[in-house]
């Protein structure tokens, strides 16, 4: 895992691939288009210990060293460049992706929640881990690489591909 995403003081973002039809979500899976299309990261920190808010999340041992540390990501969003975000770059529309697209999207969501609730949420990692119902779980796919098959698979609970899942903004707001 890379810093700063592995810091226990940030919300780390993973990535998904969205399958939609007529503006309705059909399915959402772990983003993994390797070997040449990119993939979400995720894993277990070799530096930071498991923070208190992850104590009951069944964070696995590191796939490479078997160390037991901070698990990343915490949450996820659409990251596949084929199903990502429509933006204007140099006056032209294009679709971008990557977890570097997910992070500002999540920051925007939290800014909107701050504005709507008329308060500063501050450090909400504990709240996100205590309120699993605010997420759409991503239970299919993996972030395994093609060399050595190292990585993790999605499952029903927290996982090292998409964390707790994709937050549903209205549910996050209502849970506060």
Check residue 64 and give its pLDDT. 82
pLDDT in tens, 71-116: 999 999 999 988 888 889 999 998 888 888 899 999 999 999 999 9
Query: In angstroms, what CA-CA distances link 93 with 23, 24, 37, 38, 68?
Result: 19, 22, 20, 21, 43
H helices of the chain, where?
99-117, 125-130, 169-175
- Residue 38 pLDDT class (50, 70, 90 cuts): confident
Question: In degrees, to the nearest 5, what angle opens at C-alpha 76 toward C-alphas 25 and 164?
Answer: 100
Check residue 35 and give its pLDDT. 73
Task: Look at residues 27, 66, 70, 30 and name the one whose alpha carbon lies nearest to residue 48.
Answer: 70
Check residue 146 and give its pLDDT. 61
């Amino acid at each position: 895992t890379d810093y700063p995403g592995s810091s226990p003081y940030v919300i780390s973002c993973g990535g998904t691939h969205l399958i939609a039809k007529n503006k309705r979500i059909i399915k959402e899976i772990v983003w993994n288009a390797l070997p040449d299309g990119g993939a979400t990261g995720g894993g277990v920190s070799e530096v930071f210990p498991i923070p208190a808010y992850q104590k009951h999340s069944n964070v696995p041992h590191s796939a490479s060293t078997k160390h037991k540390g901070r698990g990343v990501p915490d949450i996820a969003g659409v990251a596949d460049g084929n199903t990502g975000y429509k933006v204007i770059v140099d006056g032209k529309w294009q679709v971008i992706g990557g977890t570097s697209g997910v992070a500002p999207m999540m920051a925007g969501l939290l800014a909107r929640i701050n504005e709507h609730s008329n308060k500063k949420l501050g450090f909400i990692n504990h709240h996100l881990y205590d309120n699993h119902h605010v997420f759409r779980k991503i239970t299919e796919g993996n972030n395994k690489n093609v060399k050595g098959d190292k990585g993790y698979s999605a499952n029903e609970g927290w996982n090292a591909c998409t964390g707790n899942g994709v937050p549903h903004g209205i549910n996050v707001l209502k849970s506060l």
